[in-house]
């Protein structure tokens, strides 16, 4: 069954805004009495029946609910955005399909882009959740300065890693990570992290890790991080 998204689902019934109502009724030709599946991005799937097929304010009645708890592990990817945001959008779509929990964009020394469109990227996450039938919408954080981010004490209990290019840095993330933990992994821009950023991260308790023998583009590295940590729990 096709999955739809509505963040604000409560009570026994709810209404869709104009754009979503039009899509459901006019584009998809759903009728009164039809059953549709919704998620709120907070772990629940709602089986709903269309009570009112008004294309401007469709009303749905909840007739069933299933809750899917989070995995025992938590993946937080912190990554410098690419100059071409399409590449980040592609990555976010793919890592959503594979499974991750949270993403933060970093302002680094060699950064190629100083800001990201959070609203646009959130829409990409929602679309990917619907496509891959996910009950949980990943958290997308505002862009933050590298030094401030890695100094945040709320990550003290995470297994923290920094992926960067170094011939001496041969241990793969897959080898270093322990199962069923909260992970925070830093991925740099195309020009990699600066030596000062690497030193600071290591001083803050981040462990160096490799993502393979070859040089990866930023979005490929982000995908490799999420895939490796999911593979650890396969």
Query: Distance (Å, rounded) from C-alpha 21 to C-alpha 13?
Result: 14
pLDDT at 1: 81
d(CA 75, CA 99): 8
Q: Are 107 and 150 in contact (CB under 8 A)?
A: no
**Chain centroid offset of residue 183 CA:** 13
Please state the pTM of the whole predicted model.
0.94
All domains of the chain in start order, with CATH: 3-67 (2.40.240.20), 74-231 (3.40.1280.10)
Which tens digit of pLDDT belongs to each residue from 7-35? 989 899 999 999 999 999 999 999 999 99
pLDDT at 112: 86
By CB neighbour count within 10 A (0-12 exposed, 13-18 middle, 19+ buried), where does 172 fall? middle
Give residue-wise pLDDT tens across range 176-193: 999 999 999 999 998 899
């Amino acid at each position: 069954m096709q999955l739809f998204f509505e963040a604000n689902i409560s009570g026994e019934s709810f209404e869709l805004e104009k754009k979503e109502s039009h899509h459901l009724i006019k584009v998809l030709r759903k009728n009164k009495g039809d059953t549709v599946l919704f998620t709120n991005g907070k772990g629940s799937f709602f089986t709903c029946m269309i009570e009112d097929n008004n294309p401007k304010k469709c009303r749905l009645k909840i007739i069933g609910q299933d809750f899917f708890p989070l995995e025992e592990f938590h993946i937080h990817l912190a990554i410098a955005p690419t100059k071409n945001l399409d590449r980040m959008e592609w990555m976010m779509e793919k890592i959503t399909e594979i499974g991750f929990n949270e993403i933060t964009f970093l302002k680094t020394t060699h950064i190629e882009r100083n800001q990201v469109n959070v609203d646009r990227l959130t829409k990409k996450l929602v679309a990917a959740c619907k496509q891959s039938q996910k009950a949980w919408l990943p958290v997308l954080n505002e862009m933050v300065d590298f030094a401030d981010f890695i100094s945040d004490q709320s990550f003290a209990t995470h297994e923290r890693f920094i992926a960067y290019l170094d011939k001496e840095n041969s241990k793969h993330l897959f080898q270093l990570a322990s199962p069923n933990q909260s992970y925070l992994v830093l991925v740099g821009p195309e020009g990699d992290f600066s030596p000062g950023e690497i030193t600071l991260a290591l001083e803050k308790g981040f462990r160096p890790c490799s993502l393979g023998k070859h040089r990866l583009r930023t979005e490929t590295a982000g995908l490799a991080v999420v895939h490796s940590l999911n593979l650890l729990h396969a």
